[in-house]
Amino acid sequence: MLSEIEKREIAAHRGHYADVRAVVPEALKIVQGHRGWISDEALKDIADHLALAPDEVDSIATFYTIIFRRPVGRHVILLCDSVSCHLTGYDAVREHLASRLGIGLGQTTADGRFTLLPAACLGLCEQAPAMMIGEDVHGNLTPHKVDEVLARYD
Amino acid sequence: MTEPLREKPLTQNIHPGAEPLDLRAYVASGGYQGLRRALKMTPEEVQQEVIRSNLRGRGGAGFPTGKKWTFVPMGPAARRPKYFIVNADEMEPGTMKDRFLMEGDPHQVVEGAIIASYAIQADVAYIFLRWAYKLSSRRLARAIAEAREGGYLGRSVLGSGWSLEMHLHTSAGRYMCGDETGLLDALQGRRATPRAKPPYPQSVGLWGKPTVVNNVETVACVPHILARGAAWFRSLSHTGDGGTKIYGASGRLRRPGLWELPMGTTLREIIEQHAGGMADGLRLRGLLPGGASTEFLTAEHLDVRMDFGEVQKVGSRMGTGTVVVLDDRNCPVGMLLALERFFARESCGWCTPCREGLPWVVRTLEALESGRGEMRDMEVLDMHARLLGPGATFCALAPGAAEPLAGALRRFWADFERHVAEKRCPWR
């Protein structure tokens, strides 16, 4: 079952669209916001609430980048690996992040603090190399600056 | 050629780091005058004014904006509701101009969307925003709410009798959402796959209804065209394409950034004057003029004017107008690999040449970069540059991936050969 607050937040978007399916991406983001990721149970809760088949909801959940169908850490690091970041030091930043966190791309630290994911161009090209952590953007990254940034997330 | 007016209408209110203008301040600076003028005209007159301005779509394709609007069925027989959509799913690698406009002056985007909606008599407008643009999301949501309270949206806009609802839709991330028809499927809550055209969205679009999709920067130009006229807008440009352009530059430059300049500004002025030239000790080897899906140019093209026609004459495209610069300490094959990895990962899988061909390109480039390449690999790459070109797939993703591939083979052939001959990447 979706919680009352999840239902209320989804209802606020439902009226924006001519068809109930259109609210699915937003519903997935809302439920993920409360539960951290989209488990099979969460998927079924959304499908039941919107009277859709779970498979229909899963076809959306598995297509879009920021819907997580596996558990993630408290903070998700999205590290841009597109062209401008590639040219300005992405490799050094990735290697530093991987060694500081002890994980590779697609993995979560053992303490559940960080998940490190590759990301397509974040539109921060004038401050490349760049990454997002949660809703925050961090640009002009160097290995030293990465250390400073990581320290701000518990 | 007469010198363009040196005005910066799109960025006149933008002060990076500061809060954008709220409704009151935006109106005080002359905002919503374009909408007031448009509402005194017929929708067809608004379309004609934008046609006369020579505004061409800033998302990359450069289609004449006013002309796109004329394809929408008008009058009482037209099927409703009609939709207007701002494509704010900026995700072309190397491109960050729409974020700058939405963060910096959200009301300008909202006003442009209202005028464009009026021109096609839309009933509902969506701003389809990329998930990563959190600050844009907050600022656009506030601007829409203020516009609604101020009577610029909702029932009978400014007492005109014409009504418009506007919603901010935030995507869940995928390059395909930026494709016009992929966007429509994404907005309908489906996987973003391209649709066959025709029918074009102007007649059969969102939920099968007449729909226009325009890029953020395109939409931001519209209030100024209506407020100050098509002739004034044309006089902002060096060339026949009207208006100013938000140019950008990234890579190892002294001052990477974004600048509003007359349409048709040369690559040299953008790179050397505004971006301050290459960073210390580096030499320019090549550039992508307008994002990842444009062909490589080199230093010999620096005097090319950046507009839709001029860049095409030298075999590339202006695209989004945000330049990515390759320096001599970065490997061109490695840069191409980063580009093709993006396209391969973002392929939606709908069309076979794209789904199967792009990973093959990536694996071939990985072999070259790691010293396992052979001379015939370049034939494989060349073959893909042709097989992934226009006409083989529903949308422009694969042709976009083929452009830098073909360009790199043309401009950096000797560098590919060195990878094979030396059995390693010479830059590592």
Q: What is the pLDDT of residues B362-394, one digit of tens each?
A: 999 999 999 999 999 999 999 999 999 999 999
Q: Is residue B71 a contact partner of residue B78, using CB atoms and an 8 Å limit?
A: no
- Please tell me the distance from the alpha carbon of residue B219 to that of residue B252, in angstroms, as a whole number: 31
Provide the Cα torsion A126, B338, B395, B360; round to 10°: 180
Going by pLDDT thresholds of 50, 70 and 90, the confidence category of residue A57 is very high
Phi, psi (degrees; rounded to nearest 5) at B91: -150, 10
Residue A64 has pLDDT above 60, yes or no: yes
Spatial CA neighbour of B110 closest among B120, B101, B123: B101
Which neighbouring-strand residues pair with A117?
Answer: A78
Computed on alpha carbons and rounded to an integer, the radius of gyration of chain A in Å comes to: 17
Across the interface, of B134, B187, B330, the residue whose CB is closest to A135 is B134
pLDDT digits (tens, 9 = 90+) for B320-358: 999 999 999 999 999 999 999 999 999 999 999 999 999
Q: Is residue B268 a contact partner of residue B243, using CB atoms and an 8 Å limit?
A: no
Q: What percent of chain B has pLDDT over 70?
A: 100
A60, B170: Cβ pair inside 8 Å?
Answer: no
B174, A86: Cβ pair inside 8 Å?
Answer: no
Mean pLDDT, range B258-281, rounded to an integer: 98
DSSP state letter for A136? E
H-helix or E-strand spanning residue B252: none
Mean pLDDT, range B275-282, rounded to an integer: 97
Spatial CA neighbour of A129 closest among A143, A150, A115: A143
A125, B292: Cβ pair inside 8 Å?
Answer: no
Give the closest-approach CA distance of A71 to chain B in angstroms.
17
Going by pLDDT thresholds of 50, 70 and 90, the confidence category of residue B1 is low
- Please tell me the distance from the alpha carbon of residue B210 to that of residue B91, in angstroms, as a whole number: 25
Mean pLDDT, range B270-287, rounded to an integer: 98
Across the interface, of A60, A78, A83, the residue whose CB is closest to B292 is A83
Angle at A108 between CA A106 and CA A114, to 5 degrees: 110
pLDDT digits (tens, 9 = 90+) for B114-144: 999 999 999 999 999 999 999 999 999 999 9
Which chain A positions have a beta carbon within 8 Å of B339's beta carbon? Answer: 83
pLDDT digits (tens, 9 = 90+) for B184-242: 999 999 999 999 999 999 999 999 999 999 999 999 999 999 999 999 999 999 999 99
What pLDDT was estimated at residue B247?
Answer: 98
Q: Is residue B346 a contact partner of residue A120, using CB atoms and an 8 Å limit?
A: yes
Mean pLDDT, range A68-73, rounded to an integer: 97
A88, B249: Cβ pair inside 8 Å?
Answer: no
Spatial CA neighbour of B143 closest among B8, B9, B27: B27
Q: Is residue B174 a contact partner of residue B346, using CB atoms and an 8 Å limit?
A: yes
